[in-house]
Amino acid sequence: MQQISLDRKVSVQPVLQETILFFEVAMPNLNRIQEKILKEDIDSFFFTGKADIYYMTYFSSTNAFVLLTGADKFFITDGRYFEAAREKLKDWNVILLGESNKNHIDHLKEIIRELGGKKVGFQEDKVTVSFFKKLTEDKDQIFIGYEGFLNDIRMIKDEEEISIIKESVKKTDLIFSEIVHRIKYFKTELDVRRGIIDLIFQMRGTGESFPAIVASGNHSAIPHYETSDFEIRWNAPLLIDMGMKYKGYCSDFTRTLFLGKVDSEIQKVYEIVKEAHIAAVDKVKAGVPVKEIDLAARDVIEKYGYGEYFVHSTGHGVGIEIHEAPRISKNSDEILQENTVFTVEPGIYLPGKGGVRLENIVVCRKDGAEVLTTTPLESVLVE
């Protein structure tokens, strides 16, 4: 067990600047997507999902659409983003939505009718029923709905994507280390979360990848606890689950600290979760059934009699969104693909007492796991 004394003076401004990198992200290669459109025997695909549009363009907007054919690409947005999009997306056909005061939905239908061909695919899992009804009023075109159209493509990262996630994870490790050394200066769970957010922006992140979970005492037994103004308890566990957005990509990280002397069963559970975590990571390799990773962790926890207290899957994919494919579940029928990026995060949660979760991000390589998280798995006692 690593023991940390907090007698040292903690600087309000951490020395983290040396890790900050500025670089331009290359535009994504759309060939795989356009090849899929051709294979599906459709003339075009109309994208409405915000994360999918970002994946294709690396352009952030609250109101944008993409229409792809096998050969052409059209980015459609309103006047708030039009000039910026034209400047950044120089090899796209950028269309001003609502030009000449046209109604936006009517203009969209006009664009799709003129450019989309007869058979148009669309994201049925990314539109409302109301939008769908309005969009498909034109009976001259055939609209074919798809669910998770880009999931398999987005699941396999290229090396540039992986390098961005690596940097995000590296910054997250540093933020956690600083939070540990400041912990006695935080009064409530929300104080810790505010500290995390402040450090994310100091590290040139663009925000949290999800609302950080800071769970003190028996709150740590609630896997997706909502951080509150509850006062942090000593002689109890403190679970911190956090992540940051960096260059459009997410990190995800969880550790459970011991603030002072904690219950002996919680200490025991920590070692079991650590063993389960290591067993799961050892299973990671391209070509392995996804379920084997989950079962490796689950078998360890069940061996010690805590199976009923492991109440979620072992992990999930991470990328532009915090939850992506693959889902690391005992019920998965998928085979693990090379260059998938996902979490390994087994946990045990004892109601009324506390919980332990340990989460790292790994990359699946053909010969095994590349663990991106560098924070040790050993338990940390803060005094």
Please name the residues in contact with 9: beta carbons below 8 A apart, sequence gap of 6 or more.
none
pLDDT band at 101 (very low <50, low <70, confident <90, very high): confident
Q: Count other Cβ atoms within 10 Å, centred on residue 139.
A: 6
User: SS3 for 104?
Assistant: helix
> Nearest CA to 70 among 117, 37, 95?
37
Predicted confidence (pLDDT) at residue 23 exceeds the cutoff of 60? no
Q: Taking a C-beta distance cutoff of 8 angstroms, is the pair 26, 160 a contact?
A: yes
pLDDT computed for residue 21 by the predictor: 38
CATH number of the domain at 31-155, out of 3.40.390.10, 3.40.50.2300, 3.40.350.10, 3.40.50.1000? Answer: 3.40.350.10
**CATH number of the domain located at residue range(s) 2-14+158-382 in this protein:** 3.90.230.10
β-strand partners of 371 = 362
Distance CA 269, CA 255 (A): 13
Average pLDDT over residues 114-118: 96
Q: Taking a C-beta distance cutoff of 8 angstroms, is the pair 74, 57 a contact?
A: no
- Domain-wise residue ranges, the chain: 2-14+158-382, 31-155
Least confident of 2-11, 258-267, 280-289: 2-11
- The pTM for the full model equals 0.91
pLDDT band at 4 (very low <50, low <70, confident <90, very high): low
Instruction: Write down the H helix ranges in 234-347.
Output: 264-283, 290-303
pLDDT band at 3 (very low <50, low <70, confident <90, very high): low
Predicted confidence (pLDDT) at residue 22 exceeds the cutoff of 70? no
Q: How many alpha carbons fall within 13 Å on the CB side of residue 6?
A: 16
Q: What is each CA distance from 209 to 241, 278, 287, 339, in whole angstroms?
A: 11, 25, 29, 21
Average pLDDT over residues 210-232: 98
Least confident of 131-140, 185-194, 267-276: 131-140
pLDDT computed for residue 10 by the predictor: 36
The sheet that has 64-69: what strands, in order across it? 93-96, 73-77, 64-69, 44-47, 119-123, 142-146
Q: What percent of the chain has pLDDT over 70?
A: 93
pLDDT band at 25 (very low <50, low <70, confident <90, very high): low
Average pLDDT over residues 49-57: 96
pLDDT band at 284 (very low <50, low <70, confident <90, very high): very high
Distance CA 25, CA 320 (A): 14
